[in-house]
Amino acid sequence: MKVRFILFLALLTGLAFSCQSGAPEQQGQAGPQVKLGAPLIENEGVKIDYRYCGEGDTTLLFVHGWCINKEYWEPQLDEFCTKYRIVAVDLPGFGQSGDNRTDWSLEKFGSDIARVIDVLDLPNVILIGHSMGGDVMLEAAIQRPDKVIGMIGVDNFKDVRANYSPEEEQSFEEVIAALKADFPGTAAAYAETALFHPNTDSLVKQRVINDFRNAKPGPATAAIENLIHYGQRETELLQKVGAKLYLINSDATPTDEGALTRYCRAGHEVIPIHATGHYPMIEKPEEFNMQLQLAIQKIIHDTHRR
């Protein structure tokens, strides 16, 4: 997300700043059959909406990125609910989850995921986090090291570093100011200019742009502001976390593996996916699911060797 945010900054001047659910499922909703009797999950009074399906002794817990929601994991629920226990959440402030709080830090989002793990008593959790959700999964892995056996990032951790230049910091602040002045226009412009590949389907583009435009400005702006200033903590946690980091990253923008080698104490592995934008799980779902299965198998194999 951050490396794409930097790309957006270069274009901004030219734009003139221009499963199971904790809530009832809507009738006719597509997707795998979910279990009944889902417990309500709250974290300090904030509802966490989720979908839950499948059984087994391994859990895949999906965490979405900025301004989107759990429905972006629909192709993965379709594929993996017959193989594993699956949970996909809406982070508070997004999707169908509550927004009745003021703390939109990555640490607090991590505590939301930890709460889901606790309430559902999930075993052998593999966290799968897209974009901003990668740092959320990192926080959750630190908070529940006894439950988390692996981490899989999706198009994230591409530019891991503790600090940015003063010029970059100033540019970040300008974008935050633009979001506060005109969130729908700025968020939609960011999506349209920085998040897609030439091969990205027009329906995917429109879906993402609409979700960005209609996201809740307060939580979304605060979350991205916290993410921009998260570099120091990100590098610290990567050195502390006990799970190896697997990344399914689009090769449309480079991944700095030197930085990952420097900071990931438990190791890392990048599994590239070709010719997609920032949303490989819906742009190329079949190829993505194969890459995801590969990473899952490696994590399970590594766990059995411990």
Answer whether residue 267 is part of any domain: yes
Mean pLDDT, to the nearest integer, of 245-257? 98
Number of domains in the chain: 1
pLDDT more than 70, % of the chain = 88
Residue 259 reports pLDDT greater than 70: yes
- 31-45, 64-78, 154-168: range with lowest mean pLDDT: 31-45
User: For position 90, which CATH number holds?
Assistant: 3.40.50.1820
143: buried, middle or exposed (CB in 10 Å: 19+, 13-18, 0-12)? middle
Cα 67 to Cα 4: distance, rounded to the nearest angstrom? 15
Answer whether residue 26 is part of any domain: no
Residue 256 has which token pair? 């700095």
Residue 40 has which token pair? 């309500």
Q: Which amino acid is at 156?
A: N
Answer whether residue 32 is part of any domain: no
Cα 90 to Cα 71: distance, rounded to the nearest angstrom? 9
- 15-19, 120-124, 246-250: range with lowest mean pLDDT: 15-19
Residue 279 reports pLDDT greater than 80: yes
Residue 18 reports pLDDT greater than 50: no
Instruction: Tell me what pLDDT residue 306 has.
Output: 65
Instruction: Tell me what pLDDT residue 133 has.
Output: 99
Instruction: Tell me what pLDDT residue 4 has.
Output: 55
Instruction: Tell me what pLDDT residue 304 has.
Output: 81
Please indicate whether residue 94 or residue 22 has the higher confidence score (pLDDT).
Answer: 94
pLDDT tens figures, 103-141: 999 999 999 999 999 999 999 999 999 999 999 999 999
Cβ-contact 214, 120 below 8 angstroms: no
Cβ-contact 47, 41 below 8 angstroms: yes
Domain that holds residue 59: 2-21+38-305
Residue 22 reports pLDDT greater than 60: no
Answer whether residue 63 is part of any domain: yes
Answer whether residue 85 is part of any domain: yes
pTM of the model: 0.91
Cα 272 to Cα 249: distance, rounded to the nearest angstrom? 5
Classify the C-alpha dihedral 160-18-93-211 as positive or negative.
negative
Answer whether residue 33 is part of any domain: no
Instruction: Tell me what pLDDT residue 282 has.
Output: 99
Please indicate whether residue 5 or residue 239 has the higher confidence score (pLDDT).
Answer: 239
Q: How close are the terminal C-alpha atoms of the chain, in Å?
A: 33
Answer whether residue 28 is part of any domain: no
pLDDT tens figures, 183-199: 999 999 999 999 999 99
